[in-house]
């Protein structure tokens, strides 16, 4: 199976030949890859070099935390890649941004109101968690649409709080 993996600006073509061999940008490597304790911690031996990293899946692809550095990665197989190249890779950005709670917490302030125009970086909600006040900001300019929570309300992780249209 051949994959096209992107980290930042860099693109790697990685072919998984069998469980001990891969080809990275045309160069063959011997690998031994193990999950540690069944956890998302992985040990890779590649041509004798030993590396260990956390590998997490997230909404946009993969996150690799390796020696204290975070590498966000996208991995697509050859077929997907061809399709994307042919038809344009980026789907049109949806018109609505849903602000979700990044952690469980208590809503302590909502300094905006329905229908208000906001700029990128404006504080939308202040959420208290672990004794800290955390400001949730707008990732882009727009108009506040549906505020679904109130001050003093406890929210769950990933709960939708409001929308920016």
Partner 1 sequence: MFNKVLIANRGEIAVRILRACRELGLETVAVYSDADRKSLHVRYADEAYLLGPAPSRDSYLRSDKIIEIAKKSGASAIHPGYGFLAERADFAQAVIDEGIAFIGPKPSSIAAMGDKGVARATVTAAGVPVVPGTEAEGSLSDDDLLKVAPEIGFPLLIKATAGGGGKGMREVNKLEEMPELLASARREAESAFGDGNVYLEKLVEGARHIEFQILADTHGNVIHLGERECSLQRRHQKLLEESPSPFMDEDLRQKMGEVAVRAAQSVEYVNAGTIEFLVDGEKNFYFLEMNTRLQVEHPITEAVTGVDIVKEQIRIARGRTLSRQQEEIQMNGWAIECRVNAEDPYSNFMPSTGYISHVLLPTGPGVRVDTGVYPGFEISPYYDSLISKLIVFGETRAEVILRMRRALEEYKIVGVRTNIPFHQSMMDSHRFMAGQFDTQFVEKRFSIDKTRKGQEAHPHIAAIMATLVAHQHTQRSAHVIQRNERDTSNWKWMGRWERIHR
Binding site for partner 1 (CB under 8 A): 1, 3, 5-8, 10, 12, 14, 16, 19, 22, 24, 29, 31-46, 48-55, 57, 61-62, 64-71, 73, 75, 77, 102-105, 108-109, 126, 128-134, 157
C-beta closer to partner 1: residue 18 or 92 = 18
117 strand-pairing partners: 143
16 strand-pairing partners: 22
Looking at 67-111, which runs of residues are DSSP E strands? 69-77, 97-100, 105-109
The whole-angstrom separation of Cα 10 and Cα 105 is 37
C-beta closer to partner 1: residue 35 or 89 = 35
C-beta closer to partner 1: residue 43 or 143 = 43
Give the shortest CB-82-to-partner 1 separation in angstroms: 17
Give the shortest CB-89-to-partner 1 separation in angstroms: 17
- For 2, the enclosing helix (H) or strand (E) is strand 2-7
Give the shortest CB-61-to-partner 1 separation in angstroms: 8
Give the shortest CB-97-to-partner 1 separation in angstroms: 16
Count the Cβ atoms, other than its own, within 10 Å of residue 122. Answer: 17
Alpha carbon separation from 71 to 61, 65, 93, 112, 146 (Å, rounded): 11, 6, 23, 34, 34
C-beta closer to partner 1: residue 109 or 145 = 109
């Amino acid at each position: 199976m051949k994959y096209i993996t992107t980290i930042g600006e860099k693109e790697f073509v990685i072919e998984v030949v069998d469980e001990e061999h891969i080809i990275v940008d045309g160069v063959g490597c011997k690998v031994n890859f193990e999950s540690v304790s069944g956890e998302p911690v992985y040990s890779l031996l590649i041509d004798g070099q030993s590396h260990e990293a956390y590998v997490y899946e997230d909404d946009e692809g993969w996150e690799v935390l390796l020696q204290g550095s975070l590498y966000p990665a996208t991995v697509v197989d050859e077929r997907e890649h061809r399709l994307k190249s042919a038809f344009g890779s980026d789907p049109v950005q949806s018109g609505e941004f849903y602000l979700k709670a990044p952690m469980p917490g208590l809503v302590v302030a909502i300094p905006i109101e329905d229908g208000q125009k906001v700029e990128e970086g404006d504080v939308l909600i202040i959420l208290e968690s672990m004794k800290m006040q955390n400001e949730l900001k707008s990732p882009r300019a727009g108009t506040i649409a549906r505020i679904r929570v109130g001050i003093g309300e406890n929210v769950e992780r990933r709960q939708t709080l409001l929308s920016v249209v």
